[in-house]
Amino acid sequence: MSEKRELTAEEQDRIRRMKWWHEAKFGMFIHWGLYAVLGRHEWAMENEGIPVAEYEKLAEKFNPKPYPARDWARLAKEAGMKYMVMTTKHHEGFCLFDTEYTDYCAPKVCGRDLVAEFVDAARSEGLRVGFYYSLMDWHHPDGARCAQDEEARRRFVKYIHGQVRELMTNYGKIDIMWYDVHWPLSAEGWESAKMNKMVRELQPDIIINNRSGLPEDFSTPEQHVRGEEAGRAWEACMTMNESWGYHKADDSWKTPRRILRYLITCARDGGNYLLNIGPKPDGSVPEESVQILKSVGKWMGKYGHTIYGAEPCEVKRSTFANFTRKGNTLWVHVHFWPGSEWAIGGLRARVKSATLIPD
Using CB under 6 A as the criterion, which residues of the chain lie in contact with ligand GLC when the complex forms?
A: 31, 42-43, 180-181, 222, 237, 244
Query: Closest Cα partner for 86 from 33, 137, 124, 38?
Result: 33
- DSSP symbols for 19-81: HHHHHH-EEEEE--STHHHHTB-TTHHHHTT--HHHHHTHHHH--PPS-HHHHHHHHHHHHT-
CA distance 95 to 106: 6
Return the number of the residue (43 or 67) whose C-beta is nearest ligand GLC: 43
- β-pairing, 321-326 vs 272-277, is unpaired
Of 239 and 306, nearer to ligand GLC (C-beta) is 239
Minimum CB separation of residue 24 from ligand GLC in Å reads 18
CB of 223 to ligand GLC, least distance (A): 8
Contact yes or no for 263/274 (Cβ under 8 A) = no
Taking the complex as a whole, the smallest distance from the CB of residue 93 to ligand GLC amounts, in Å, to: 13
CA distances from 352 to 144, 326, 331, 340, 355 (A): 61, 20, 13, 11, 11
If the CB atoms of residues 43 and 303 are measured against ligand GLC, the closer one turns out to be 43
Least Å distance between CB 252 and ligand GLC?
A: 17
Q: Tell me how far, at minimum, the Cβ of 86 lies from ligand GLC, in Å.
A: 11
The region that residue 175 occupies, defined by phi over 0 for left and psi between -120 and 50 for alpha, beta otherwise, is: alpha
Q: How far is the CB of 278 from ligand GLC (least distance, A)?
A: 10
d(CA 155, CA 143): 10
The nearer residue to ligand GLC, 114 or 313, going by C-beta atoms, is 114
Give whichever of 84 and 310 is closer to ligand GLC, judged by the CB atom: 84
In the complex, minimum distance from the CB of residue 266 to ligand GLC, in angstroms, rounded to a whole number: 15
Strand order in the sheet with 272-277: 207-208, 176-180, 128-134, 83-89, 26-30, 272-277, 233-238, 218-219
221 vs 304, which CB is nearer to ligand GLC?
221
Closer of 20 and 43 to ligand GLC (Cβ): 43
